[in-house]
Homo-oligomer: A and B are copies of this chain.
Amino acid sequence: MTLADSRPRTQGPARGRPRSEAVEHAILEGVMKLLEEGVPLAELSIERIARTAGVGKATIYRRWNGKEELFVDVMRAAEPPDPELPGTSMRDDLVVLLEALRRRGLMNRTSAILHNVYAQMKSSPRIWKAYHINVVNPRRELGKEVLRRGQRNGELHADIDLDLANDLFTGPMLLRAMMRPDDELPEGLAEQIVDSVLAGLRPVSSPQP
């Protein structure tokens, strides 16, 4: 379900000319195209999007209540599909998940969109929530499911807080990918993080105060 239908459609049975899916697609593609061309998100006016998509402004407002709502759908469209998990072990699955996160941070399209669209949305709690429900939470659940499987086969303590554990893996990678985009996101980073978190940083010997 997209947000595109958020505007009121008075009744049940379809009346009048139905909305064109082609138009919907053209709009989303138009936004993508502009973002890929390097247009800063701040310069993405509805007016310009409409011009690019060859569409009337009202046609956009008919579907979305404003820029933010539109952007939620753009994000969903830009979001790469869930990675395929090897299933060989929890550790390997986690590496694949983080690796997907790393790559997403590098991809031009998603990066341009995520890093900025994402930002804009925070100003509008309604949208932020929609994005979380539709995009973020499913991903988080995927991660927790991997951890749960790890608990079942003994790779992870059974009594650990899964949300916290998930954040321990995801947080460092996101921190790198989102706050230090210019920094290197080296190939082995996902493995490093997963293994470090699993092993812990404490030295074998106890500290000498």
Interface residues of A (CB under 8 A from B): 40-42, 89-90, 115-116, 118-120, 122-124, 132, 136, 150, 153-157, 160-161, 164-165, 167-168, 170-176, 179-180, 192-193, 196-203, 205-209
**Cross-chain contact A167 with B176 (CB below 8 angstroms):** yes
A76 shortest CB reach to chain B, Å: 17
Residues of B contacting A40 in the complex (Cβ-Cβ under 8 angstroms): 123-124
Report chain B residues within 8 Å CB of A115: 122
Q: Could you tell me the distance in whole angstroms from the C-beta of A174 to the nearest C-beta in chain B? A: 6
How far, in Å, is A105 (CB) from chain B's closest CB?
13
The answer to whether B164 touches A203 (Cβ under 8 A) is: no
CB distance from A78 to the nearest CB of B (A): 16
Are A207 and B153 in contact (CB-based, < 8 A)? yes
> Which of B154, B164, B192, B197 is the one whose CB lies under 8 Å from A208?
B154
* Cβ A153 vs Cβ B209 within 8 A: yes
A177 to chain B, nearest CB (A): 10
Which residues from chain B contact A90 at a C-beta distance below 8 Å?
Answer: 207
Q: Find out whether the CB atom of A196 lies under 8 angstroms from the CB atom of B175.
A: no
Measured CB to CB, the nearest residue on chain B to A173 is B171
8 contacts between A and B (CB under 8 A): A156-B201, A156-B203, A167-B172, A168-B197, A172-B172, A174-B179, A175-B175, A198-B202
CA distance A97 to B78 in the complex (A): 36
A202 to B200, Cβ gap below 8 A?
yes
